Chains A and B, each alone.
Chain A
Amino acid sequence: MRRAALTFGAWGLWVGAWALVLLIWGEATVPLIAFAAAAASAAVIAGYLALSPLESDPARTIGDTSFAPPLIGAGVVLTCNGLAFGLWLVLIGAELGAFGVGVLIAERRRARLR
């Protein structure tokens, strides 16, 4: 994991260095914020990798199929489309999404009991 952390850390430094060059050159705020955010997110991932151990694949506890992703996905898609078509579609989408989350919780509970 340390080598992976090093890769991300170095990538963050690389982007940060280019941000510094841009700052010295004198540039507007938006590009600098975008740069800094990219460098910071690389640093956060590097920190996470440095602290977390490599996982070997655990014994599989989830099934081969799941209803939750299509239900949650359809919920999100309909909710977003509801922003253009009206509250009725937002509500249908939210309901479907909530049902999907319920299915996900049930699937996870069933897997834990197995």
Chain B
Amino acid sequence: MSTVAQPLPRVGPFEWALSIDHKRVAARTAALALVFFLASGFLALLMRSELAQPGLQFVSTDTYDQLFTIHGSGMIYLVVTPLALALGLYFVPLQVGAADVAAPRLASLGFWLYAGGGFTMYAGFMTSGGAGKAGWTAFYPLSGEQASPGTGMDMWIIGVALAVSGMALVAATIMLTLLRHRAPQMSITRMPPFCWATFFTCAMTVTSFPVLVVAMGLLFADRHLGPVFDTPGGPATYQHLFWFYGHPVVYVMFFPFLGVVAEVAATFSRRRLFGYPALIISLFAFTGLSMTVWAHHMFATGQVNNQYYSLTSTSLAIPAGVEYFDVIATMIGGAILLRAPMLFALGFLSLFLIGGLTGIIVGSPPLDYHVHDTYFVVAHFHYTLFGGSMMGAFAAAYYWFPKATGAMLREWLGRVQFVLLFVGVNLTFFPMFLLGYDGMQRRVADYSPNAGLTTNNALATAGAFVIAAGVLAFVVNLVVSLRRRVPAGHDPWAGQTLEWATTSPPPRLNFASLPPIRSYAPLLDLREREERAP
């Protein structure tokens, strides 16, 4: 049908580290993100162990501040965003029929900046004052020199700026590839849903990420050169700069996984994606709106136009609804195959829905005043980021692992992992809604034994360990599947898009030849034509 090219030869670790092949840069990024995921997850277990019962058992309040800061920062700057972009870096060129990314050295530089930033941030633990402790948002004046003195906070600022710059470079290369290196027949209106989702992700990344780098530069200057934000309106200005990055990044961590889920749903329902044009238009509307909602995080400051930001935030429900409708309509009437990628895709749809619907609550100022800075908000964004994005990431892992390695992940371990994660996420984060509604503040190491918060905290802690067991199942699956390889073949899922037309793993320049491209799903077109042929 398309290619007889030889897969990538195995190379040593030195050559692997220096490679500028987009697939190896992406694999390096994903592998490092997994390391940071395990590290940041371990910090979460420490926090949940501390909160299992009232009183201080394991850590001091100062250490707890460092734990939640590096846990949140690690997960957002070093895990979910890089994972989302690593998927794009690996699969976008394959899906659009390109031989490589537009600027391979730039993508590799992006990886090294990200790695340097991540290690800088974590190295703060080795300084005498400890790591950064002003939360993942580092609001001013809490992040100023007086409230957070010490080198650890400086290293946090430098680490964030480096990691975010690195990811902006990676996004720029993906976007250039999408715009300038598509195969001749691959017009922009024939790009697969994942490519469109990544396209909008990159558009948000290159627009909003530089603003955070500027904010970090100004914060560093404020700490060492003199007042920048220590002025009337200064702290609010910092928040504007931060959230101009901080809200679009939520969709940077959502769109690629939505794209994955749309493709997984179509592949495992044995159907063409329902409403392809509507999905793309809704992604477009979503992207524009996502740039306009950032100050809903600032309702409680009293310094923003609450009506405007509430209107834009609530409007997000419309494109989100269209996207859900398209994916669910794809499954209706399809011959659904409940393999591990599909299970995680269904997990994504159900858990992200809870996160999305509670987002409407925190997008309404009167309700937000009640739950602001409580565990309700923690539950909301963990349903979106863990229940949503990480479920999507695992769907992508099970779906594309055979393509990237030539070996299948163990199905039964995938099912065990799915059950553990689904139960664990709900057991951990649902009680947090109740805790927040009852007034438990976030970012606290202790709570009163008489406040009626103990049971729900104990449940959340138990759930965190169930999640850890699920993650352990994934790590075991990776190790077992790579050591005792079950060959995957070129197209184990009967895929629809171009990446399944080449070898597993793909060769250095991806394709020897391409099939005809007449829609976003060239392989499905071919199969349908073969079925129709007499």
Contacts and interface: CB of A to CB of B under 8 A. Distances in A.
Contact of A4 (B18, B179, B236): B179
> Which 9 pairs across A and B sit closest by C-beta, in order of nearness?
A73-B112, A77-B116, A14-B288, A69-B108, A84-B154, A65-B18, A69-B109, A57-B99, A18-B292
B20 A65 contact: yes
30 contacts: A1-B179, A8-B203, A11-B284, A15-B291, A15-B292, A18-B288, A25-B307, A26-B305, A27-B305, A27-B308, A28-B303, A30-B240, A35-B292, A41-B206, A42-B203, A60-B99, A64-B15, A66-B18, A69-B106, A73-B112, A73-B115, A73-B116, A76-B162, A77-B120, A81-B155, A81-B158, A83-B220, A84-B155, A84-B158, A85-B151
Nearest to B208: A38
Interface in A35-78: 35, 38, 41-42, 49, 52, 54-57, 60, 62-70, 72-74, 76-77
A74 B112 contact: yes
Interface of A: 1, 3-4, 7-8, 10-11, 14-15, 18-19, 21-22, 25-28, 30-31, 34-35, 38, 41-42, 49, 52, 54-57, 60, 62-70, 72-74, 76-77, 80-81, 83-85, 104
B319 to A, nearest CB: 12
Contacts of B312: 18
Contacts of A49: 179
B20 A69 contact: yes
Contact of B116 (A64, A74, A85): A74
Contacts of B224: 83
A22 B289 CA distance: 13
B111 A69 contact: yes
Given A57-B181, A65-B15, A104 B188 contact: no
A54 B305 contact: no
Contacts of B21: 64
Nearest to A11: B288
A70 B180 contact: no
B288 A15 contact: yes
A31 B108 contact: no
A31 B105 contact: no
B476 to A, nearest CB: 31
Interface string B150-172: 01001100100110001000000
Contact of B154 (A4, A25, A83): A83
B289 A18 contact: yes
A7 B241 CA distance: 26
B343 to A, nearest CB: 34
A42 B207 contact: yes
B113 interface: yes
Q: Which of A38, A49, A57 has the most CB of B within 10 A?
A: A57
Most buried by A among B116, B241, B288, B308: B288
Given A18-B289, A54-B180, A70-B17, A3 B211 contact: no
A62 B99 CA distance: 13
Given A60-B99, A62-B20, A64-B19, A54 B182 contact: yes
Contacts of A104: 105
Nearest to B102: A55
Given A38-B207, A69-B105, A80-B161, A55 B292 contact: no
A60 B100 contact: yes
B237 interface: yes
Contacts of B240: 30-31, 34
A38 B116 contact: no
